[in-house]
Amino acid sequence: MLDRIAPCPRRSPKEESEIRLGCVHRSYDLLSFLFDLQLSKIGVLCGQEVGGVTSLASVGAPSDHTYYTMHAKGVARIASPPWREDDKDGHYMFDLGENLTSRYKIYSKMGEGTFGQVLECWDRESKEMVAIKIVRGIKKYWDAALIEIDVLQQLAKHQAASGLCVQIRNWFDYRNHICIVFEKLGPSLYDFLRKNGYRPFPIDLVREIGRQLLESVASSLYYSFLVMHDLRLIHTDLKPENILVVSQEHVNVSDHKFPSHNMRLPKSSAVKVIDFGSTTYDSHDHNYIVSTRHYRAPEVILGLGWSYPCDVWSLGCILVELCSGEALFQTHENLEHLAMMERVFGPIPRHMMKRADRHAEKYFRRTRLNWPEGASSRESINAVHKMLRLQNLVMKHVDRSAGDLIDLLQGLFKYEPAERLTAHEALRHPFFRNNRRME
């Protein structure tokens, strides 16, 4: 029962494995595209960033989990740290205060994930703090990092996207690890939810954040159609952890539902999307698993293939989480997840059930969901039964604009991807159109 009360883990090990298998599939699917990055131009390892080193050995493509490179000679360094072996999972080992090349000094560890670590560093050249993502020294993460770098560089060329997506400053290969230098941003939306005890955001803040997220998705699509034509970007992992506020400042405001407890909110509503390591291009059939479980669209679970609409579904889940304080679908099981969807949105269309792949067809019996007969436990049945219909859930937490928000969410949560609102259509919805922007 406690795990139903406590915040649900964001991603199970099994789901992480499924998604990373998809990442490997995507990496090899785009192998010919990646070689256009001219890997011979990658700087190697000796404490100097790309473009600032001469007489470097080229990077070879390794066949196992470790990348072997040659040391560059004669490159001036500022107290380079001693060589250390990576930990058992391929993470870079470091001490605070050490240098990461001659340009960057490590100040703190900002976070860690499946991909690697993020360090706060001082940039001696630009005289500013930056965030450096140090990718694990394992081939599949190295490949994913190259994809992320390319996506970030493409987005940086587009003026509209530059204000909505995190900006890449630099990248280099240091001691067998791809390092990506980013502008330093503030906390994630999930950080604010957690520190506020999972209390809802004010609806005006939810509206402005939602507007920016839709603009970030829409601008990527706009960019692909008008500039790159054949480069069609799908993020595939939108969630509160991957949305950072731009400002590191916050304000304390009173909570009318809990007068004795102030809420910590971002001083500015400006946000940026991060983590493009799972981003893919809409140029192939996509059937592998993507998205963190809570934000995963039904077509992904059913194995029907997916495209841009899977990002739109994720945005809908994020909006509900921001205005309620809790993840909409707190589950780690496919059948339970589908049952929760039916509880909140109504029955899954029969034509989607009939098209489910061989892995998902077991969730249905005679053109209906095999629920509650197929439930794994009584607790699972109770968890689904306690869920509210979408309109009741919104009205429980939102006073003003509830009607507009419900109508918007109903469009974002259409089961059939082709019927789901696009990002451009959602931006024209009265929920956004009838209210002025926040500062």
Q: Which residues pair with 111 in a beta bridge?
A: 118
d(CA 152, CA 172): 14
b/e map 350-370, b = 16+ CB within 10 Å: eebbeebeeebeebbeeeebe
- Write phi, then psi, for 158 (nearest 5 degrees): -100, 115
Quickly count: other Cβ atoms within 10 Å of residue 194's Cβ. 13
d(CA 331, CA 64): 35
The H or E element that residue 245 is part of is strand 243-245
Strands 168-174 and 128-135 come out as unpaired
Summary count for the chain: helices (H), strands (E) = 16, 14
150 is catalytic: no
Given a contact cutoff of 8 angstroms between Cβ atoms, the answer to whether 428 and 421 are in contact is no
Q: Which residues pair with 119 in a beta bridge?
A: 109, 132
Q: Which residues pair with 264 in a beta bridge?
A: 252
Query: What is each CA distance from 77 to 95, 114, 275, 283, in whole angstroms?
Result: 17, 30, 30, 43
For 15, the 3-state DSSP assignment is: helix
Q: Could you tell me the two tokens for 339? A: 């049952």
What radius of gyration, in Å, describes the C-alpha atoms of the chain? 23
- Write phi, then psi, for 159 (nearest 5 degrees): -60, -40
Q: Which DSSP symbol is given to 165?
A: B
d(CA 428, CA 109): 40
Q: Please pick, among 143, 150, 173, 237, the residue that the annotation labels catalytic.
A: 237
d(CA 87, CA 177): 13
291: left (phi over 0), alpha (psi -120 to 50) or beta: left
Provide the annotated active-site residues.
Answer: 237
